[in-house]
Amino acid sequence: MGYYCSDGMNFTSNSTYQSNLKLLLSTLRSSATHGSSDKFSDGFYNATAGQDPDKVYGLFLCRGDVSRETCQDCVNFAISELSKFCPVQKIAVIWYQECLLHYSNYSFLSTVDTSAVVLVPKPQDSPNRSFDGGVSNLMNEALSRALRTPKMFGTAKKDYSDSPTLYGLAQCTQDLSPDQCRSCLGEAISKLAGCCSIRQGGQVLYPSCITRYELSQFYNDTLIASPTPAPPSPGSERSSKEKKAINQQELYTREGRTGDDSYDILGGETHGDSHQELPIFPLSLALEATRHFSDENKLGEGGFGSVYKGILAGGKEIAVKRLSGSSGQGLQEFKNEVTLIAKLQHKNLVRLLGCCLDGNELLLIYEYMPNKSLDVFLFDSTRRAQLDWKRRISIINGIARGLLYLHEDSRLKVIHRDLKPSNVLLDHEMNPKISDFGMARIFGGNQNESNTSKVVGTYGYMAPEYALEGIISLKSDVFSFGVLLLEIISGKKNSGFYLSEHGQSLLTYTWKLWCKGEALELMDPVLKQSCVAAELLKFIHIGLLCVQEDPADRPNMSSVAVMLASDTVPLPQPSQPAFSAGRSIARSGQSSSSDSKICSVNEVTLSDVSPR
């Protein structure tokens, strides 16, 4: 039916990762065939193989109405076929009518994964337009039933007097909590309504959940368990505060799972589905993991607190952000991160594992990034050599994918507001993950712009309309991305140029080189042996488009992603970028001939591109 292979994340033949993957697939095959393990439950099994950094995570899920024999056949077929479709990719998912198979080099277990999606609309339009609203009602009923069965599998049907009956199905992987399942299926149902509600059927397939509806019954009633009665209202069976604390082993094995031992710590105003809960770390566990926040464990210092490395009893490494509980800003950042990032799941966003609120102690617990942040490498005279051209392209593309998810593909429309190298973390394979959502702003569905009297962020990365007028939009992040892109290419800080011998910003310097046909002079010297000149020019071009003074002239992130991936898409000519006259900038009503200057890319010829 459909499959997904990761782009640019491959393993090599005879590598440790390949050996671990073979072991994992063998384990999954055996579990589907014999089903003797305690971990096999109703057509679902998850497993891991190997150790970091070559550890492989995987699972299979069979549809809740199929027999064990059908499940076995589907899983075996999926394993053999996926090795053909994704022979060297580290992340792969394949969906069939009766099962799905998923493996990855990062831990997706007990998290909502919607990073890949397959849409399967029927080609024929429905004979009854009233299906449009009926599909959502049908699927929400299936969702409700799925949350009340051990298999997290539910079906529903809707009868019409003058039209065929509608049949629907909803199912989650069984490692998810009910709240996570509701979140995943809710997103899938929204997509189903968008792509398929006027068709005679359709499917939306995510790695963590699946939805489907048809005009004829496609599931087996006889193998479907009846759902349990609806659960009591939240909080009616809450235990004492001591029981809310999660012990070390639970945290190590469950990581992102939520359940009865977690609770809403925020209260007050929330955004939509913000009661999705996080595991609560007891303060004693954080103290033990970080050696009482010792200086030796400190990873860095932020505007509202410090970050420490921690090690749990089972050896799991974590990062603990300790915010100032006595600071209103620290409390606001804590609330922002807990209500926001818990609902965001993407491979290019850092993952929040839990939190702690104990007196004045405000702690956020994240997955640990062994390579710290991008600035540690990019602006270090020795370490920057580890970032060759291929690696820098991968980092730029990863940041773009993460930002695109925030702006357009997540359930929320999120403006980060503080995108910069120190907020881009790097995992053990140097894959980028956007972090620090304490200043992020959520927009409503049709909202494109907002004003604020309190400007937060980092000068040098702020869009001019935001820094000077407090105007926030998605294009604010696009500007920050453009600055970051040019910094990655040049290895130079935008802010550092104000005090340099050039007496100008990195944006000014880039523009002057571009207009003189010398844009390749921007290249970090360590890239001379690995850089492809044509690619470099394209990336500089895209960077200049992102830092245009007028937000309307900047591309959105979906356009940026297309431009980064294609060598044939024509790029519009950039005008003089914002802040190109130093610290000041002409605003509306203050134009000059230089402000509207356009330098054609044709002035940059490839005859001058040989490495110096």
Q: Is the pLDDT of residue 573 over 80?
A: yes
> Is the domain of 251 the same as that of 139?
no
> Is the domain of 490 the same as that of 563?
yes
Query: Residue 57 in contact with residue 109, Cβ under 8 Å?
Result: yes
> Is the domain of 471 the same as that of 525?
yes
- The answer to whether residue 228 sits within a structural domain is no
| Candidate ranges 244-258, 292-306, 406-420; pick with highest mean pLDDT | 406-420
> Is the domain of 442 the same as that of 311?
no
Q: Quick one: average pLDDT of 125-131? A: 57
Instruction: Tell me the pLDDT tens digit for each residue of 285-318.
Output: 899 999 999 989 999 876 567 899 999 888 899 9
- The answer to whether residue 416 sits within a structural domain is yes
**What total number of domains does the chain contain?**
4
Range of the domain at 169: 118-223
What mean pLDDT, rounded, does the chain reach? 80
- The answer to whether residue 235 sits within a structural domain is no
Determine if residue 84 is labeled as part of a ligand binding site: no
> Is the domain of 214 the same as that of 306?
no
> Is the domain of 360 the same as that of 262?
yes
> Is the domain of 35 the same as that of 64?
yes
Rounded to an integer, what distance in angstroms lies between the CA atom of residue 227 and that of residue 210? 18
- Please tell me the predicted confidence (pLDDT) of residue 502: 46
Separation in Å, CA 389 to CA 213, 230, 483 = 46, 55, 18
Rounded to an integer, what distance in angstroms lies between the CA atom of residue 524 and that of residue 528? 8
Query: Residue 307 in contact with residue 300, Cβ under 8 Å?
Result: yes
Tokens matching residue 352: 């929040």
Burial label for 376, CB within 10 Å (0-12, 13-18, 19+), is middle
Confidence of residue 269 (pLDDT cuts 50, 70, 90): very low
Q: Which of 418, 427, 436, 524 is catalytic?
A: 418
- The answer to whether residue 113 sits within a structural domain is no
- Residue 589, SS3? coil
Query: Residue 9 in contact with residue 89, Cβ under 8 Å?
Result: yes
- Among the candidates 104, 136, 162, a domain finishes at 104
Separation in Å, CA 35 to CA 39, 56, 80, 96 = 9, 21, 19, 20
- Please tell me the predicted confidence (pLDDT) of residue 383: 95
> Is the domain of 83 the same as that of 171?
no
Question: Cα 441 from chain centroid?
Answer: 16
Cβ neighbours of 290 (radius 10 Å): 22
Verify whether residue 409 is a known catalytic residue.
no
Quick one: which of 23, 71, 30, 74 has its CA closest to 51? 23
- Among the candidates 176, 194, 223, a domain finishes at 223
Query: Residue 206 in contact with residue 188, Cβ under 8 Å?
Result: yes
Give me the DSSP letters along 253-310.
HHTT--STT------S---TTTT---PBPPHHHHHHHTTTT-GGGEEEE-SSEEEEEE
- The answer to whether residue 234 sits within a structural domain is no
Half-sphere exposure (Cβ direction) of 246: Cα atoms closer than 13 Å: 27
The CATH number that applies at residue 587 is 1.10.510.10
Quick one: which of 178, 189, 180 has its CA closest to 137? 189
- The residue type of 70 is T
- The answer to whether residue 230 sits within a structural domain is no
- Among the candidates 45, 70, 104, a domain finishes at 104
> Is the domain of 355 the same as that of 249?
yes
- The answer to whether residue 112 sits within a structural domain is no
Q: Is the pLDDT of residue 14 over 80?
A: yes
The CATH number that applies at residue 276 is 3.30.200.20
The CATH number that applies at residue 74 is 3.30.430.20
> Is the domain of 177 the same as that of 263?
no
Give 120's strand partners. Answer: 203
Tokens matching residue 147: 């949350």
- The answer to whether residue 93 sits within a structural domain is yes
> Is the domain of 151 the same as that of 259?
no
> Is the domain of 219 the same as that of 310?
no
| Candidate ranges 241-245, 303-307, 528-532; pick with highest mean pLDDT | 528-532
Spatial CB neighbours of 393, under 8 Å, sequence gap ≥ 6: 535, 539
Confidence of residue 132 (pLDDT cuts 50, 70, 90): low
Rounded to an integer, what distance in angstroms lies between the CA atom of residue 240 and that of residue 165? 48
